[in-house]
């Protein structure tokens, strides 16, 4: 099956839809038209740049270049986690918790999949490593962002309740146990919904892309199942770790709530 290539005119026609949407949003005074256009521009530039980078990377396969690109992706994802929160931890903690949680969950699971499950040689083959890591980081980033944002905002709103529990003798773990669990649940809901709807309500992006490029449907399905399970594990472990670390940071060694550590 031959691949149908898209011309710049084809992409311009698709971009017209976004421009029309931005115009309609402006007319309705939704306040998102500028953000929408900037996001569309960023999408175009960023994807074109990564396309050029991957083209060069595929031509010169080397572990060092893969590690450099993976590190850049992780650091940028960590920044996105931090800036999307209404309230966040002050100092390097605001950046370090999300970034560290993503590193431990996504990188470990991706390396496991590449070396044990897929068994690609070499294991850092960029054709497999970068797309898998990208999907892992993107979804784990969303889960961690939602979980941390829910935790910090709820802790701020319910600070009186938390302090009352502490005064009654509860430990910091017990005082915020319900908030912590709800925050973890919030971070995991998107991937749970995605898995529940996959194949019935929606056809996931990786599977669709493989089918469009000529991959047999059943082979594309197997890869999509692998990716969905990887994303679920990465998002779950990452969200749990980030929420726990964030919760611990909100209290000192004497079990006192320290909201001054937020900004």
For the stretch 81-94, pLDDT in tens is: 888 888 888 888 88
pLDDT tens sequence across 38-73: 999 999 999 999 889 888 888 888 899 999 999 999
CA distance 218 to 189: 27
The percent of residues above 70 in pLDDT, for the chain, comes to 98
SS3 sequence of 146-197: HHHHHHHHHHHHCHHHHHHHHHCCCCHHHHCHHHHHHHHHHHHHHHHHHHHH
Closest alpha carbon to 107 in 81, 133, 69:
133
What average pLDDT does range 203-209 have in this prediction? 76
CA distance 85 to 80: 9
What number of residues does the chain have? 263
Helix and strand counts by DSSP (H, E) for the chain: 11, 0
pLDDT tens sequence across 91-139: 888 889 999 999 999 999 999 999 999 888 888 998 889 989 998 999 9
| Residue 239 near residue 184 (C-beta atoms within 8 A) | yes
What is the pTM for the complete model shown? 0.84
CA distance 126 to 131: 8
Residue 2: pLDDT over 70: no
**pLDDT value of residue 203:** 73
């Amino acid at each position: 099956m031959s691949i149908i290539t898209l011309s710049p005119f084809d992409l311009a026609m698709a971009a017209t839809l976004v421009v029309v949407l931005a115009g309609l949003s402006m007319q309705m005074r939704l306040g998102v038209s500028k953000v929408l256009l900037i996001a569309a521009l960023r999408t175009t530039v960023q994807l074109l740049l990564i396309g050029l980078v991957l083209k060069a990377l595929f031509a010169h396969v080397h572990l060092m270049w893969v590690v450099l690109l993976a590190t850049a992706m992780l650091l940028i994802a960590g920044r996105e986690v931090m800036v999307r929160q209404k309230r966040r931890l002050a100092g390097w903690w605001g950046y370090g918790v999300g970034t560290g949680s993503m590193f431990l969950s996504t990188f470990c699971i991706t390396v496991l999949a590449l070396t044990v499950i897929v068994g690609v040689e070499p294991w850092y083959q960029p054709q497999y490593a970068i797309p898998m890591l990208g999907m892992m980081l993107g979804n784990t980033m969303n889960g961690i962002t939602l979980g941390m944002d829910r935790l910090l905002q709820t802790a701020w709103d319910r600070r009186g309740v938390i302090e009352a529990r502490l005064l009654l003798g509860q430990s910091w773990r017990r005082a915020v146990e319900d908030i912590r669990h709800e925050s973890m649940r919030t971070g995991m809901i998107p991937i749970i919904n995605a898995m529940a709807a996959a194949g019935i309500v929606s056809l996931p992006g990786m599977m669709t892309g493989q089918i469009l490029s000529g991959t047999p449907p059943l082979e594309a399905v197997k890869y999509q199942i692998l990716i969905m399970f990887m994303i679920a594990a990465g998002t779950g472990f990452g969200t749990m770790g980030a929420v726990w670390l964030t919760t611990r940071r909100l209290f000192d060694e004497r079990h006192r709530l320290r909201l001054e550590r937020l900004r």
